[in-house]
């Protein structure tokens, strides 16, 4: 399981094989998961599969806390899910450009999570992107919620390698893409927050963002 030394290369079918980047590290993690008690793996697997729902809860909490504060902060909170979706879109486009085969396909290893079908690309990790984007966008609303979301994001990223869905470089790229896109968009939202708050204040959401 530790003999992956090939350089990353384009495979015959046009997909990218990232095993040469950090395949041995991936195999070490997957091997550790196979030796871990089943109840721990169940918890990690469930968090990996469903943990993104926690970020939706944090977004709702961020809006709830901001709704009666300054209208500009409420507008920033309402923008968090839009920013997160924007980061997801960028990540999905990168997947189509890179076309990296999943590690479970390239390395033929048994993983906790069922190996996706060919064409479900690996780089970057959408889960890591979504989690990081939500954490950064929430940080612009509440540093406390942002810090909580950041811890959840790191756990989500690590879980994706543990269950065998991604290489470590996939989750690192996902975290970077999500954080960068969310930071840029959040700064833009903050710059235009006065305009956005006036637009929302004249619309059906006015009672929700009133100071």
Give DSSP secondary structure letters for 51-102. Answer: THHHHHHHHHHHHHHHTTS-HHHHHHHHHHHHHHHHHHHHHHHHHHHH-BPP
Categorize the per-residue pLDDT at 208 as very low, low, confident or very high, splitting at 50, 70 and 90: very low
Residues 158, 171 contacting (CB under 8 angstroms):
yes
Phi, psi of 13 (to 5 degrees): -85, 10
14-18, 33-37, 114-118, 159-163: range with lowest mean pLDDT? 14-18
Please list, in sequence order, all residues whose beta carbon lies within 8 angstroms of the beta carbon of residue 133, skipping any fewer than 6 positions away: 83, 84, 86, 87, 88, 178, 179, 181, 182
Give residue 194's pLDDT band: very low, low, confident or very high (50, 70, 90).
low
| Beta bridge partner(s), residue 9 | 17
Residue 209 has pLDDT above 50, yes or no: no
């Amino acid at each position: 399981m530790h003999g992956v030394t090939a350089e990353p290369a384009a495979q015959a079918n046009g997909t990218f094989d990232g095993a040469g980047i950090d395949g041995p590290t991936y195999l070490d993690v997957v091997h550790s998961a196979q030796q871990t008690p089943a109840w721990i793996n169940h918890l990690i697997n469930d968090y990996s599969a469903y943990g993104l729902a926690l970020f939706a809860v944090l977004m709702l909490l961020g809006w709830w806390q901001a709704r009666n504060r300054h209208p500009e902060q409420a507008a920033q909170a309402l923008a968090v899910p839009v920013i997160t979706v924007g980061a997801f879109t960028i990540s999905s486009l990168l997947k189509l450009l890179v076309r990296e085969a999943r590690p479970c396909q390239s390395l033929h290893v048994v993983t906790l999570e069922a190996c996706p079908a060919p064409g479900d690309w690996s780089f970057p990790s959408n889960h890591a992107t979504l989690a990081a984007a939500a954490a950064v966008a929430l940080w612009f609303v509440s540093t406390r919620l942002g810090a909580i979301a950041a811890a959840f994001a790191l756990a989500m990223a690590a879980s994706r390698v543990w269950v065998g869905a991604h290489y470590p470089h996939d989750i690192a790229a996902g975290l970077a893409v999500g954080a960068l896109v969310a930071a840029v968009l959040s700064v833009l939202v903050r710059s235009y927050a006065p305009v956005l708050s006036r637009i929302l204040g004249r619309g059906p959401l006015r009672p929700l963002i009133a100071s």
